[in-house]
Amino acid sequence: MRIDFIHNSGMPKLAWSAKVEPQKQTISATIGDWVEILNNGFLEGVADDNFSSSSFDRTACIFGSGAIIRGEEITFVSSAATTDYLYWTVIDDGRVVHISNSLPLLLACLNDQLDKHCLNYSEINNSIALGINNYRKSIPTNKGAVNRLMYRNLRVSAEGIAEIDKPLAPRFASFAEYFNYLSSSYERLAKNARDINRKRPMAIFSTQSRGYDSSAINAIAKDHDIDLVFTVSKGKARGLLATQDQNLEVNDDGTQICEKFGLPCMQIERRALENDSEHEALFYAAIDDNGDFNLQQIGTHVTQPTILLTGSLGEIWYTASYSADKPGTINGDLVRGDLGTHGLTEVRLEAGYIQLPLSYVGATSREDILRITESLEMNPWRLGTDYDRPIPRRIAENAGLGREMFGQVKMASVLEYPAPRLPLNLALRSAYFDFLVENRLISRWQIFMFILVRKWNTVIGTTSPKYYRWRWGMEPIANLPKPIALRSSDCPGARRISSITVSFHILPPSRKPVATKKVAGRPCFCRIGRAISALSA
């Protein structure tokens, strides 16, 4: 196959799209400025191989995405983490395959849009947490549908299109085997990132809280030159939404841990979005129920292609009690407990960083990892509390971190706003409401109901389930609309892709509770409405 490249400086730095015509053996790839061009493909990512070997299609340890040509076929490679995806579709009776690492970009190439009448986008997004074998791949659009591909690779040739499994991680019989695999894999990843044969060698950033995951990850990565570590000093108040905890945020500052590890540290503001919402639409372009605004300021410090180490999938290190009531979790499916850091896809492509959640390395051997966690050899690192993760504790303590410095109380720094979600950016919010009215999804007078319903959802989301019965009276009054959309080209900070559209899809409230959760020790029913949004062209 022959590949031709088109550089587009107007695209996000790490974005790419490709048009494949298998019968003609031709590929046209449009790439952002920081995508690396290889002899036989391209890469916006990092793998545990030698960079010059271009063998990232044959490893289970690849973060970011890219493509490799071998003979008469091309393999598009997805991330080993469930935080990033490939999007693809076939047109012209199977003669042309379009594929991209960005949903908005793919839809722009197809002159397509999300279907404003579809009520299932939230379910499609949430299905990511079900793992690599049970998520919903098809995303409805005006012209039909496009496909989301998670974890697996996509091989395209004149013979057809096939999803290709990544190699399995090795089995682990002991902590030593697992730790050696983690540390040696990261060493190779770091060397790949810094390789002088790259047109733009990569910087390495990380994150640090007072929890287990980032402490263990930085204990492994600290010996391989981390350029900068970010810490959100003020964490989320337990059981409260972002509209409630402004003066109740808890101390989650990881500065002291960074000092112990000898790492340069910078504090970032959890609520930066509330003062700078220029790029707000990019967060909603990834998933609807996005709480990753807390990491917004990281992007402002990216000046070259960069790895960002995060603690996503930290639940893989939990004890057996975590999965006792979660059947289907302890296997190689990469099932998630939540979608934390899954909302950074479009943000990272624009900023120029690769998300590398190190806990995904070896994660398909999850049964072995749990067996090690529960083994007798881990008893010296077991606290016996509800917040107990012996593996990351052993890693961090063996690196010199004192027991009392981390992993004492479960905290988080995500920004969770009440449903239905509304843009904080005033221009974006105004355009959103205008679109609702123009498309007759609501009347102008009903706009005020959004504020009322959000306040009510705040009440029932943080109090006892007895408040649920009041939903019956609220639903017919609120009459929340079906999917709507607005063009971000009229809003500050719009993506530099022509005709980009931001869609905020509001699901109508259910007549029965569809989920329960624990909030501050009390069960509560899910909120009235759920807003989902995505960028489309």
Q: pLDDT tens digits, residue range 323-380?
A: 999 999 999 999 999 999 999 999 999 999 999 999 999 999 999 999 999 999 999 9
CATH code at 18? 3.60.20
Cis upstream peptide for 420 (omega within 30°): yes
Q: Provide the pLDDT for residue 452.
A: 87
Q: Provide the pLDDT for residue 475.
A: 42
The whole-angstrom separation of Cα 537 and Cα 486 is 11
Q: Provide the pLDDT for residue 116.
A: 83
Q: Is a pLDDT exceeding 90 seen at residue 519?
A: no
The whole-angstrom separation of Cα 230 and Cα 273 is 16
E runs forming strands in 411-450: none
Of the candidates 507, 508, 506, 511, the residue with the CA atom closest to the CA atom of residue 469: 511
Q: Looking at the structure, tell me whether residues 282 and 349 fall in a common domain.
A: yes
Of 164, 199, 221, the position where a domain reaches its end is 164
Q: Provide the pLDDT for residue 461.
A: 64
Q: Provide the pLDDT for residue 34.
A: 98
Count of beta carbons in the 10 Å neighbourhood of residue 271: 17
Of the candidates 64, 133, 101, 126, the residue with the CA atom closest to the CA atom of residue 360: 64
Q: Looking at the structure, tell me whether residues 272 and 365 fall in a common domain.
A: yes
Of the candidates 251, 309, 384, the residue with the CA atom closest to the CA atom of residue 63: 309
Q: Looking at the structure, tell me whether residues 64 and 152 fall in a common domain.
A: yes
The phi and psi torsions of 145 (rounded to 5 degrees) equal -165, 155
Q: Looking at the structure, tell me whether residues 398 and 485 fall in a common domain.
A: no
Task: Give, in order, the Cα–Cα distances in Å from 397 to each of 178, 214, 221, 260, 492.
Answer: 16, 13, 14, 11, 46
The whole-angstrom separation of Cα 431 and Cα 437 is 10
Q: Looking at the structure, tell me whether residues 154 and 193 fall in a common domain.
A: no
Q: Is 417 inside a domain boundary?
A: no
Task: Indicate the Cα dihedral angle 230, 234, 238, 244, nearest 10°.
Answer: -120
Q: Looking at the structure, tell me whether residues 41 and 127 fall in a common domain.
A: yes
Summarised one tens digit per residue, pLDDT across range 397-442 is 999 999 999 999 988 899 988 888 889 999 999 988 998 888 788 8
Q: Is 411 inside a domain boundary?
A: no
Q: Is 240 inside a domain boundary?
A: yes
Of 139, 164, 189, the position where a domain reaches its end is 164
Q: Provide the pLDDT for residue 457.
A: 82
Q: Is a pLDDT exceeding 80 seen at residue 479?
A: no
CATH code at 208? 3.40.50
Q: Provide the pLDDT for residue 463.
A: 54
Enclosing domain of residue 209? 175-405
Of 137, 164, 191, the position where a domain reaches its end is 164
Q: Provide the pLDDT for residue 66.
A: 98
Q: Is 418 inside a domain boundary?
A: no
DSSP assignment of 271-323: TGGGT--TTHHHHHTT-SS--GGGGGGGGGG--S-EEEEE-TTGGGGS-HHHH
Domains: count for the chain: 3
Q: Is 336 inside a domain boundary?
A: yes
Percent of the chain with pLDDT over 70: 86
Q: Looking at the structure, tell me whether residues 216 and 300 fall in a common domain.
A: yes
522, two tokens: 């009390």
Q: Is 421 inside a domain boundary?
A: no
Residues with Cβ within 8 Å of residue 301, at least 6 apart in sequence: 205, 228, 230, 266
Q: Provide the pLDDT for residue 94.
A: 87
Average pLDDT of every residue of the chain: 87
259, two tokens: 């000092």
Q: Looking at the structure, tell me whether residues 399 and 469 fall in a common domain.
A: no
**Greatest Cα pair distance in the chain:** 65
Query: Positive or negative CA dihedral for 323, 329, 332, 334?
Result: negative
User: Most confidently modeled of 118-127, 236-245, 350-359, 468-477?
Assistant: 350-359
Q: Provide the pLDDT for residue 462.
A: 58
Q: Is 401 inside a domain boundary?
A: yes
Q: Looking at the structure, tell me whether residues 390 and 430 fall in a common domain.
A: no
DSSP state of 58: G
Q: Looking at the structure, tell me whether residues 193 and 242 fall in a common domain.
A: yes
Do 537 and 509 contact (CB within 8 A), yes or no? no
Q: Is a pLDDT exceeding 60 seen at residue 493?
A: no
Q: Looking at the structure, tell me whether residues 91 and 123 fall in a common domain.
A: yes
The whole-angstrom separation of Cα 182 and Cα 170 is 11
Q: Looking at the structure, tell me whether residues 472 and 372 fall in a common domain.
A: no
User: Predicted confidence band at 223 (pLDDT cuts at 50, 70, 90)?
Assistant: very high
Residue 478 CB-half CA count within 13 A: 27
Q: Is 154 inside a domain boundary?
A: yes
Pairing of strands 26-31, 228-232: unpaired
